Amino acid sequence: MNVIVCIKRVPSTETNVRIGSDGKSLDPAGVEYIISPFDEIALEEGLRIKEKAGAGLPAEASAQAGDVTVISFGPAETATTLRTCLAMGADKAVLLKPAAPVNPEPFVVASALAEAIKQMPHNIILCGKQAVDDDNSQVGAMLARLLNIPFVSLITKLEITDNKAVVHREIDGGYEVLETVLPAVLTAQKGLNEPRYPSLKGIMSAKKKPLEENTVTPAAPGLEIIKMEYPPIRPAGRIVGKGVEAVPELVKLLKEEAKVI
């Protein structure tokens, strides 16, 4: 079972967003970058697929049970992020660096990933359900379209049997059980698993694992970013009162001032 996991390097969710001098993008000064949290869940699932496939096999057969490859489209700094993925347990990494700076909108990213993945053995491709920077939720669906393989988003459970997968997909107010033939692209939702931390041994061995860097010509973007702004500032908070004594006043405000109840 060869698993490919698509990774994006994003600002930590604790980042206080400051807009850069171009007025169109995040000021990167002082920003800590992480693996997008949903991609981390996708990677954990990929590692578990491999571990399950190799379980009980002799060492040599286990080594041939397939690889977990992480792939990312991004700037040179993304190599550090991919190295963390290798430390978590991925076998190899591929970084696709754009030949010229480009806004990494989903079609640009998915096109580059699809071109590279076409050349790689793959039984299953996992992505996060969305990157937590541009919140676009599109790369997975696009990748499936460009590779002409099935797609299921928002999975919270995955079971693989032969060349099929049975997944749970989150829907409003419940979940669906779907079956898909493989290879397929699946996107991970929170609840699928709890990602592991890299072990010391993992960190040491990651240094020796292959990380291939390729320069690619990005596709033409479909969107032009005109500006970035801060959300409207909320009026300063107001304390109605303390404890249960404040409740009648609160209800009065909700009914008469806010008129929301």
Partner 1 sequence: MTNPILVFAETQDSKLKKSAIEVISEAKRQSDNLKAEVVAMLIGSGVEPLAKDAASYGAAKVIIIDGPDFKSYTTGAYTQALMAAVEKTKPQAIILSATSNGKDLAGSVAAELKTTAAQDCISLTYDNAFVARKPVYAGKAIITVKIAKQPAVITLRPKVFPASAPDASKSVSTEKLPVALSADSKRVTVKETVAAAKGKVSLTEADIIVSGGRGMKGPENFKILEELAGVVSAAVGASRAAVDSGWRTHDDQVGQTGKTVCPTLYVACGISGAIQHLAGMSSSKYIVAINKDPEAPIFKVANYGVVGDLFEVVPALCKELKK
Q: Which of 30, 56, 101, 174 binds partner 1 (CB under 8 A)?
A: 174
Q: Is 221 in the site for partner 1 (CB under 8 A)?
A: yes
Between 59 and 244, CB nearer to partner 1 = 244
Between 61 and 246, CB nearer to partner 1 = 246
* Binding residue count for partner 1, defined by CB under 8 A: 88
Between 145 and 207, CB nearer to partner 1 = 145
Residue 94: C-alpha distances to residues 71, 79, 91, 131, 150 (Å): 5, 9, 11, 18, 23
Q: Which of 61, 63, 76, 181 binds partner 1 (CB under 8 A)?
A: 181
Q: Which two tokens stand for residue 133?
A: 């920077």
Residue carrying structure tokens 């992020």:
81
Q: Is 234 in the site for partner 1 (CB under 8 A)?
A: yes
> Which range of residues in 42-50, 64-72, 195-203, 216-224 is near partner 1 by CB under 8 A?
216-224
Q: Is 171 in the site for partner 1 (CB under 8 A)?
A: yes
CA of residue 203 relative to chain centroid, distance: 21
Q: What is the DSSP letter of 220?
A: P
Q: Is 145 in the site for partner 1 (CB under 8 A)?
A: yes
Between 10 and 86, CB nearer to partner 1 = 10
Between 76 and 225, CB nearer to partner 1 = 225
**CA dist., res. 72 & res. 134, Å (int):** 16
Residue carrying structure tokens 């596709």:
219
**CA dist., res. 114 & res. 227, Å (int):** 29
Query: Helix 106-118 to helix 139-147 angle, to the nearest 10 degrees?
Result: 40
Answer whether 90's CB lies under 8 Å from 43's CB: yes
Residue 192 backbone class (left: φ over 0; alpha: ψ -120 to 50; beta: rest): alpha
Q: Which of 48, 157, 190, 196 binds partner 1 (CB under 8 A)?
A: 190
Q: Which of 49, 82, 96, 152 binds partner 1 (CB under 8 A)?
A: 152
> Which range of residues in 60-68, 92-100, 144-152, 205-213 is near partner 1 by CB under 8 A?
144-152
> Which range of residues in 46-54, 57-65, 197-205, 248-256 is near partner 1 by CB under 8 A?
248-256
Minimal CA–CA distance to 136: which of 123, 145, 146, 127? 127
Instruction: Find the binding residues for partner 1 in span 108-127 (CB under 8 A).
Output: 108, 110
**CA dist., res. 198 & res. 81, Å (int):** 12
